Chains A and B, each alone.
Chain A
Amino acid sequence: MPGLEILSDFTVRNALIGASLLGVVSGVLGTFAVLREQSLIGDAVSHAALPGICLGFLIAGTREIWPLALGALAAGAAAALAVLALTRYSRLKPDASLGTVLSTFFAAGTVLLTYIQNRQLPGQAGLDSFLFGQAAAVLPEDLWFMGAVALVALGAVGLFWKEFKLVAFDPGFARSLGLPVALIEAALTAMIALAVVVGLQLVGVVLMVAMVIAPGTAARQWCRRLETTVLLAAGFGAASGILGTMLSLLGRGLATGPLIVLVATGLAVVSLLFAPGRGAAWKAAARRRARAAIEDRHILAGMWQLAQSHGDAAYAVEQGMLDAMYGAGARGALERLERQGLVEPVTHMSEEGLHWRLTPEGRKAAAAEPLSPSPTVRGE
């Protein structure tokens, strides 16, 4: 790639392509996990991938991606099933079953990993990079693998879009239409395992759940429809992948996988805070604005009432009186009203302290104001 020298670097290019693939897949599949409130199953599934990887290595005897991924997929599916079975047939609550399954599988994986490392088996070097991922280890054949998985997963989502959507929103109604809901739910959970498998090399099993959850969580804040939510989640995922990889190039020893995850969770935090209509900070600001607007209208109506009772439309009210009636907020409200051209300070009576009166526009606005004109009734 001309111009951007760094992009022509073989390893960097592989990492970038892999990271964007990973972002798109986990964004799309993760959105369904988030909406079905299955995010934590993703955690169990991704940790469970570790023993699967080790078993895949032990059986196949090589570090090639296919056997390892198959092992990860099988172990992830087994973990998901175990969570469901534990919740259903024991007295454990869902979160407790999740924790139990997660730690059991991860412990088994750790045992297998140390066993393999101590046996000095040929080709085992770097197997532990699946814990936190290693961008430099991504090979072209890995990219082919990731691409194939992405194609299968995204193809399935495209094909069964309406079925997935209905099961995610209203499984009860889906069943009443005769849809095999249990099968589709199993497929959706298997998809989480697929997303995890795509991220094994770059992000690793420990942090992969964040990649599943974050883009979907972020996207849902901004969108009103599932279609747009999934597309935006794919975009957020890809952006996190690319940005995280670029950031890791800035300095030696910056781990790519964790940086990708940090970018993704950063996007989620920003969205949770600032998305219009849903973000926490956005809502707080909107509440503040609404409260200020109510205060303004009260003061306007109160000044109108005073002017009427004095038979003088341009009656000047002392600031102190407004303070007494409306509290400390009166000054700020008067300044806001002045900016809107509804009130003006009266300057010729400066020796008696600050006075305010309604401008002609202010009178018009106050007369049209349906709010109670009595300043003593401050129902808020």
Chain B
Amino acid sequence: MVDRWDERAKGAVHEPSLALHIEDLTVSYDHRPVLWDIDLDIPPGVLAAVVGPNGAGKSTLVKAVLGMVKPAAGHVYVFGRPHLQQLRRIGYVPQRTTVDWDFPTTVLDVVMMGLYGQLGWIRRPGRAERRKAMDALEQVGMAAFCHRQISQLSGGQQQRVFLARALVQDAELYLLDEPMAGVDATTERHIIGLLKELRSRGKTLLVVHHDLQTLPEYFDWLVLLNVRIVAQGPLKQVYTLANLRQTYGSQIGLLHGMPAGTGGPGAESPGSAALETAAPRAGGRR
């Protein structure tokens, strides 16, 4: 029996200077391609957003990096090695709706699950693990809730518990699937503060995000995705009206009436008022 859950044969090193390097990745469900020929590079130490319309394949991209879906083609490298050898260095915050929040377990239990990978087979979490979990709960401001059953949490609190679970993983690359979905403005500020702090500690973060308006304020790297990669790179260069229009296609028709000539690298960022209507889930925020 292997000692670690993710122990695999060591392979060749490839692009070690990138936190995440994806080549020619294609994923399909039932012969319908959901991700098509993705080439993606994320340098270390960035706080990157993945943006695209519903069904663009954002969650699938995250799952492919974690080895949760089998790609039809392509390779994924994390810090220079095949991703399946590097799972210990990846932290994951799934979309909140993926679990049964009525499950009989407490907040502290859930956070400790983030340590199960480090523990390996059979070994049980002990006092040291409990302390790490409490530290993480402290960081997300949920320490007072540690013995609550998870069914008694609000949506924003659930999200923070998932975040704490990822924090204890002590990973180097974090993948977060809509960590800001359905949380109030205060919690959102708290979460983004935490993500920025992780970045300042040298972590790399890839965040699926839905609110186009807050992109420049929160992120420094941007990946625009709609089955294919539309654009990727430093946010300042990629965050243009032309790119967004290409990503959202007809859905961004509401953007018509924007001042002309806002596209192109280095150009003025799109006006927020018009973008708000374009972002699928941005309406009614704040």
Task: List residues of chain A with CB under 8 Å of any chain B CB.
Answer: 35, 37, 159-163, 165-166, 168-170, 172-180, 220, 223-226, 228-229
Contacts and interface: CB of A to CB of B under 8 A. Distances in A.
11 contacts: A161-B124, A163-B121, A168-B103, A170-B94, A170-B99, A172-B99, A174-B116, A175-B68, A176-B94, A224-B104, A226-B104
Contacts of B246: none
B199 to A, nearest CB: 21
A176 to B, nearest CB: 4
Contacts of B125: 162
Contacts of A225: 104-106, 109, 149
Contact of B84 (A35, A161, A170, A178): A178
Contacts of B117: 177-179
A178 B4 contact: yes
B110 interface: yes
B163 to A, nearest CB: 13
B134 to A, nearest CB: 17
A325 B90 CA distance: 63
A176 B90 CA distance: 8
Contacts of B149: 224-225
B274 interface: no
Given A160-B122, A220-B104, A223-B104, A172 B109 contact: no
Given A162-B125, A166-B116, A226-B103, 7 more contacts: A166-B113, A174-B116, A178-B88, A178-B117, A224-B149, A225-B109, A228-B104
Interface residues of B, number: 32
A264 B92 CA distance: 40
Given A169-B113, A170-B98, A178-B84, A159 B6 contact: no
Contacts of B104: 35, 220, 223-226, 228-229
Interface in B79-117: 84, 87-88, 90, 92, 94, 98-100, 103-106, 109-110, 113, 116-117
A148 B109 CA distance: 31
Contacts of A173: 92, 94, 113, 165
A120 to B, nearest CB: 51
B143 interface: no
Interface string B43-83: 00000000000000000000100111000000000000000
A228 B106 CA distance: 12
Contacts of A35: 100, 103-104
Given A177-B117, A224-B106, A172 B4 contact: no
B61 to A, nearest CB: 14
A240 B239 CA distance: 64
A178 B5 contact: yes
B119 interface: yes
A165 B66 CA distance: 20
A223 B110 CA distance: 16
B83 to A, nearest CB: 10
Top 10 A-B pairs ranked by shortest CB distance?
A: A178-B6, A177-B117, A178-B5, A224-B149, A176-B66, A176-B92, A178-B87, A229-B104, A175-B68, A179-B5
A176 B87 contact: yes
B178 to A, nearest CB: 14
A149 B11 CA distance: 42
Nearest to A230: B104
Contacts of B109: 225-226
A204 B22 CA distance: 54
Contacts of A175: 66-68
Contacts of B122: 159-160, 162-163
B28 to A, nearest CB: 16
A224 B152 CA distance: 10
B67 to A, nearest CB: 7
Contacts of A162: 116, 119, 122, 124-125
A285 to B, nearest CB: 19
B105 to A, nearest CB: 6
B149 to A, nearest CB: 4
A169 B100 contact: yes
A159 B121 CA distance: 9
Contacts of A168: 103
Nearest to A36: B100
A235 B119 CA distance: 30
Contacts of A228: 104
A220 B5 CA distance: 30
A180 B100 CA distance: 21
A172 B124 CA distance: 20
Contacts of B94: 170, 172-173, 176
Contacts of A166: 113, 116
Contacts of A170: 94, 98-99, 113
